């Protein structure tokens, strides 16, 4: 391992939080290209050590290795369960496995209003809010770098049974939305005959007999 890679490892361990490639370059007085090269070297050097290098966008951080993710995740879930409660753990699971998701969709899956618990998770730094590119009036929620690091996974796709659980969430959500749409349509159809049986006010007035004086 080169001296630069060693310094990056020590720095990330000391900071105990993600650092951008740009910031690492500034602190260590080297170019971003040098940092990227050293990061790749460090990533290889850490293989099989129980510690891995997480990379997300332009940030890097130290985390537990994927081989130990199941063990670490169990411990983390136990701690999170005590810390954020069952509702918080439920919501975190949805955000982790589903990916970027709106609060309304979280409500659909959980079957209850999740405003309070989502706000709590935001404050705790476990989820982050981003703007929905399809609709700027809507916000989406996704797991933070810190949450992934805490769980010991570099990305959600490395979570146990990721594809299976994600598929179940998506199927359930689609079915729930379809049922709601059909129920709404059914209600509208049910009110139409009643409305059609009620004569308009103008018709009532026309039908009133003339008063003779």
Whole-number average pLDDT of the chain:
80
Host domain of residue 21 = 3-64
Residue 212 counted as domain residue: no
Tell me if residue 20 falls in helix, strand or coil. Answer: strand
CATH number at residue 144: 1.10.10.10
Same-domain check for residues 74 and 113: yes
Give the chain's residues under pLDDT 50. Answer: 194-213
* 90 and 23 part of one domain: no
Residues 37 and 108 in one domain: no
155 and 73 within one domain = yes
Q: Give the pLDDT score at 189.
A: 67
pTM assigned to the model: 0.54
Length of the chain: 213
Dump pLDDT digits (tens) for 105-153. Answer: 999 888 888 888 998 898 888 899 888 888 877 889 999 888 887 787 7
Residue 189: inside a domain: no
What is the structure's pLDDT at 198? 47
State how many domains the chain has: 2
CB atoms within 10 A of CB 75: 13
What pLDDT digit, counting tens, does each position of 55-64 carry? 877 888 888 7
Nearest residue to 30 via CA among 42, 22, 41? 22
Shared-domain flag, residues 9 and 59: yes
Are residues 76 and 24 part of one domain? no
From 46, 64, 82, give the residue that closes a domain: 64
Both 75 and 114 in one domain: the answer is yes
* Domain membership flag for residue 143: yes
């Amino acid at each position: 391992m080169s001296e630069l890679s060693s310094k990056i490892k020590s720095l990330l361990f000391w900071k105990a939080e993600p650092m951008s490639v740009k910031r690492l370059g500034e602190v260590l007085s080297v170019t971003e290209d040098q940092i990227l090269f050293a990061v790749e070297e460090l990533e290889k050097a850490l293989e099989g050590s129980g510690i891995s290098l997480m990379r997300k966008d332009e940030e890097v951080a130290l985390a537990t290795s994927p081989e130990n993710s199941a063990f670490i995740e169990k411990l983390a879930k136990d701690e999170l369960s005590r810390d954020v409660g069952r509702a918080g753990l439920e919501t975190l699971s949805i955000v982790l496995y589903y990916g970027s998701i709106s609060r309304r969709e979280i409500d659909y899956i959980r079957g209850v209003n999740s405003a309070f618990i989502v706000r709590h998770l935001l404050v705790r730094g476990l989820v982050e809010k981003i703007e929905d590119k399809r609709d700027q009036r809507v916000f989406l929620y996704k797991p933070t770098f810190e949450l992934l690091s805490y769980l010991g996974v570099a990305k959600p796709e490395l979570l146990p049974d990721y594809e299976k659980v994600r598929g179940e969430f998506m199927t359930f959500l689609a079915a729930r939305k379809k049922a709601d749409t059909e129920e709404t349509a059914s209600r509208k159809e049910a009110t139409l005959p009643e409305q059609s049986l009620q004569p308009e006010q103008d018709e009532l007035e026309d039908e009133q007999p003339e008063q003779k004086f």
